[in-house]
Copies of this chain bind each other. A is one copy, B any other.
Amino acid sequence: MIAIGHAEDLPTAFMEAWNRHDMAALAELFIEDAHFVNVLGTWWTSREEIAVAHTATHETIFKHSRLSGTLAALTPLGPGVVALHLAWELEGQIEPDGRPGGKRRGILLLVATEEPEGWRIRVAQNTDIVPGLLAPATPVAAGAGR
């Protein structure tokens, strides 16, 4: 049993489990009925589904991948409830056709609660940073209030 004493240690534990390709340890960071929406909008609704999906991808496209990142925001939402934004980079992905993939970047949101056994992830959602896909959205974010 992994004991996470501080919510801010969850992103590090997630990345360490990812980089060891230890999907049992990764899944253990989630509560049993956790929600996880991945970058493709695939929605897992249990620790078991999260474990199965990540085990399969870590035998294939993510087998030699390395995840790094920084905790970009920690937002307390109430007693024992926080939101954590991990700004991540992923290297070493293999494309489905076998070619090496390029570096990816994204934002992983983890909403965690303090349980008797320590902090656990209850709701996660991951989004790739895709510059230029729908051009209007990005410049506007930094733009004037027209």
Contact = CB atoms under 8 A, between A and B. Distances in A.
Interface string A59-96: 01100000000000101011111010100000000001
Given A122-B75, A135-B96, A53 B141 contact: yes
A126 B129 CA distance: 12
A80 B78 contact: yes
A37 interface: yes
How many copies of this chain? 2
A43 to B, nearest CB: 6
A136 B97 CA distance: 11
A1 interface: no
A51 B143 CA distance: 11
B111 A57 contact: no
A123 B109 CA distance: 9
B130 A41 contact: yes
Given A42-B138, A78-B79, 20 more contacts: A37-B109, A39-B127, A40-B130, A41-B128, A42-B129, A51-B145, A52-B141, A53-B137, A53-B141, A55-B146, A56-B140, A56-B146, A60-B136, A77-B111, A78-B81, A79-B79, A83-B111, A96-B134, A109-B123, A111-B123
A52 B130 contact: no
Interface in A88-129: 96, 105-107, 109, 111, 113, 122-123, 125-129
